[in-house]
Amino acid sequence: MTALNEAWAAPGSFLDLFLESFKHGENTAHLVQHLLIVAMDKKAFDRCNAVHPFCYWFRVEGMDFAAEQKYMKGDYLEMMWKRNRFQQTILELGYTFLFTDVDILWFRDPFPRMSPAAQVVMSSDFFVGDPDSPGNYPNGGLLYVRSCAGSIGFYEHWQASRARFPGMHEQYVFDKIVKEGVPGRLGTRVQFLDTGRFGGFCQHGKDLGRIVTMHANCCVGLENKLFDLKNVLEDWKIYKKRVAAGNTDYFSWRVPGRCIH
């Protein structure tokens, strides 16, 4: 599942690049058949329907999510919390999901790398080496949640905790409640993904033989994100050609870019 608005769905923008990455990844093309795109406005919904069979228009009365939502500005906060509550609804309906931001490129199937016992697993801006450590720096751009009593209870706790941190986004509150310690009564295990495999512009593995996804995090401005992601996808295509030709020499991303380093 991913979510986007008009600014991210425009032709030649993130949606096209996101879908293209599945075509060039290893054993990822079939995953698109299971992808639900949640559109936050009418134009994003129309664009989704033009390129993908599974689209859902998430309407919020009185809110306009069509324009670029700059970090912590305008309707950004409400959009993020509404998205969070929508994810909770998915869990309550009995569905396990893997949420991905649309500025993430998929190069390998992540599901074999998820433990069957996992409940709530979030990607990291910075990974400290231990998937169970609350010292990891969370990023909700990639979020796997198994539908169970523990995960639903955690989402209820997450939503309720918003009132204790007014004016803050859902990722900030997530970090706070995990560092406080998830209430034992919930029975929820929260874990984090290794940036060596699930990388981003903040921190990423350099070995393209291990990388699963790449996220345009730690990057301000849609143009900057798009510029670097295009280069990342081109690097991946070059890597695949080299491997197909039997070239096993070390190959990594071209850095620095506008954001990636």
59 assigned to some structural domain: yes
If you average pLDDT over every residue of the chain, what do you get?
A: 93
- Compare 41 and 216 and report the one with higher pLDDT: 216
Give the CA dihedral 70, 79, 197, 28, nearest 10 degrees: -110
Q: Is it the case that residue 151 has pLDDT exceeding 70?
A: yes
Q: Residue 256 corresponds to which tokens in the numbers above? A: 């620095």
Question: Token pair of 70, please?
Answer: 């700059």
Q: Is residue 253 part of a domain?
A: no
Is the pLDDT score of 85 beyond 50?
yes
Residues 106-144: tens digit of each pLDDT: 999 999 999 889 999 999 999 999 999 999 999 999 999
CATH number, residue 197: 3.90.550
Structure tokens, 252? 């990594």
For 41-69, the DSSP string reads SHHHHHHHHHH-S-EEE---TT----S--
Identify residue 18 by its one-letter amino acid code. Answer: F
What is the per-residue pLDDT for 70?
Answer: 53
Tell me: the pLDDT tens digits for 172-210? 999 999 999 999 999 999 999 999 999 999 999 999 999
Compute the average pLDDT of residues 147-169. Answer: 96
Average pLDDT, stretch 23-32?
Answer: 97
For residue 69, pLDDT over 80 is answered with no
**How would you class 255 by CB atoms within 10 Å of its CB: exposed for 0-12, middle for 13-18, buried for 19 or more?**
middle
Pairwise CA distance, residues 229 & 227, whole Å: 6
Please give the Cα distance from 56 to 15 (Å, whole number): 15
Residue 254 in domain: no
Peptide bond before residue 256 is cis, with ω within 30 degrees of 0: yes
Residue 257 forms part of a structural domain: no
Provide the pLDDT for residue 71.
47
Q: Is residue 261 situated within a structural domain?
A: no
| Residue labelled with tokens 């380093």 | 261
Q: Quote the domain boundaries for residue 175.
A: 2-245
Residue 48 has what pLDDT?
98
- What is the total count of domains within the chain? 1
pLDDT for 81: 92
Does any domain span residue 230?
yes
Whether 219 maps to a domain, the answer reads yes
What per-residue confidence (pLDDT) applies to 128? 98
- The whole-model pTM stands at 0.93
Q: How far apart are CA 3 and CA 231, in angstroms?
A: 23
Q: Residue 252: inside a domain, yes or no?
A: no
